[in-house]
Amino acid sequence: MSWTTSVGGHSYTFADLRELMAKATPARSGDVLAGVAAESAAERVAAQTVLADLPLAHFLDEAVVPYEDDDVTRLILDSHDPDAFAPVRSLTVGGFRDRLLSWQTDTAALTALAPGLTPEMVAAVSKLCRVGDLVAIAAKTRVVTGLRTTLGLPGRLATRLQPNHPTDDAVGITASLVDGLLHGSGDAVIGINPATDRPSTVRALLELLDDARQRLAAPIQSCVLTHVTTTLELLEQGAPVDLVFQSVAGTQAANRGFGVTLDQLREAHEAALALRRGTVGSNVTYFETGQGSALSADAHHGCDQQTLEARAYAVCRAFDPLLVNTVVGFIGPEYLYDGKQILRAGLEDHLCGKLLGVPMGVDVCYTNHAEADSDDTDTLLLTLGAAGCSFVITVPGGDDIMLNYQSLSFQDVLQVRSTLGLRPAPEFEAWLETVGLLDDAGRVPQLGPDALPALTSGLS
């Protein structure tokens, strides 16, 4: 199906849904690189105008990546719930935006709607939203998950503590772990990106974190972010695996680039579930995504990067994740050029994930060759806090010395929790209180490493 419209005396034609979606996307470098972006601001508005009039039901008839060629498309369409979709079936994309903003659409309505929505529908509506809309709609969308802590509750902002070290050194990792815990960080997960995928190293890190958890008697879950096949192998050997991790993308070909299939994810999910390691919930998967990953794998099928990113969340939601986060500024300026593009992409990703029923977090970050700095991460963190983001990622001083990029510091999150009145996950908050890391006003006092003797008594 093709569409033609006029804006400012010029006529614009869009050959198919893929082109319409791409050209309606707010400007970003990755779509220019892919050659799919609108060629002028007017063409972008023309595409948005056509998109606003498109019936939502059209997304069930026209796929942006062919059904026959792609298992993600098949997953999306085969698992679509027509009953859940019924309340919005007659709406256009523009009408859907108005409905999402309306007073009648509350948290319960949004939760019920999620199984009826496809990634392409939520990507489309997000393209018609301004930053304020992306925040306002997300703020009333809740996705609650749990394992040893409960995440996604109203008024809470959790953190992944990321104690990476360039040589996976146990004491070096412990130093960052202690620093993070002393700042009340780690309620979403303690998650290490290992420097090597060697199974023996990954196992040693899993045991280090699980041992720390038991010595602290803390309600935390841990994860070593290695390939799903490595985790599965270690899990079968009896390693303490709380969470199965995998990077995923929105097309079958891009997932092949990550060396992963939906069947492998299914197998790993079931294996982790069978361990029954949770106390307050049974969500045992963790996924990372990011706009541009399909293009960088040459697997984008001529689609824009934001639509494909939303499709990655359909992959995630099939495996009942505890955590999903977009690594929004990590992939570089050829995909998201500056702070403005990173801000919008982070909020789009957060909203799209939440609308699909995914427990969305964000790695608020940038690389040194992007036009971005800590003012931009502060702005994104504050807006995500207002939007009810499930969790963000924290590293000492915001400087990840293994991956060489900047994320948030522990202090950044304490400050935003305080500014917006947000608290850690309830189980973790209670633990902080028992070890003296939370005062009567709900603040985290400044204590030294000896406040955590379970981890530091042998060191000094």
Instruction: By CB under 8 A, name the binding residues for other proteins.
Output: 29, 32-33, 163-166, 169, 171-176, 178-179, 333-334, 337, 367-370, 373-374, 395-399, 401, 404-406, 409, 411-412, 414-415, 417-418, 443-450, 456, 459-460
164 assigned binding-site residue: no
- Of the pair 333, 357, the CB lying nearest other proteins is at 333
Q: Minimum distance between the CB of residue 411 and other proteins, rounded to whole angstroms?
A: 5
161 assigned binding-site residue: yes
- Of the pair 96, 337, the CB lying nearest other proteins is at 337
> What residues pair up with 285 in beta bridges, in sequence order?
244
194 assigned binding-site residue: yes
Q: Minimum distance between the CB of residue 332 and other proteins, rounded to whole angstroms?
A: 8
296 assigned binding-site residue: yes
246 assigned binding-site residue: yes
The values of phi and psi at residue 71, to 5°, are: -75, -20
Quote the CA–CA distance of 99 and 89 in Å, as a whole number: 12
291 assigned binding-site residue: no
Q: Minimum distance between the CB of residue 410 and other proteins, rounded to whole angstroms?
A: 9
Q: Minimum distance between the CB of residue 197 and other proteins, rounded to whole angstroms?
A: 12
Quote the CA–CA distance of 269 and 319 in Å, as a whole number: 7
The values of phi and psi at residue 203, to 5°, are: -65, -40
Dig out the tokens for 54 from the structure: 């498109």
- Of the pair 86, 447, the CB lying nearest other proteins is at 447
Burial 143-177 (b: 16+ CB within 10 A, else e): bebbbbbbbbbeebbbbbbbbbbeebeeebbbbbb
Q: Minimum distance between the CB of residue 367 and other proteins, rounded to whole angstroms?
A: 7
The values of phi and psi at residue 323, to 5°, are: -145, 140
Q: How far is CA 429 from CA 47, 410, 423, 454, in A?
A: 47, 15, 8, 18
- Of the pair 174, 305, the CB lying nearest other proteins is at 174
> What residues pair up with 219 in beta bridges, in sequence order?
none
The binding site for adenosylcob(III)alamin comprises 194, 246, 296, 402
Question: Residues at the annotated binding site for substrate?
Answer: 160-162, 193, 288, 363
Q: Residue ranges for the binding site?
A: 160-162, 193-194, 246, 288, 296, 363, 402
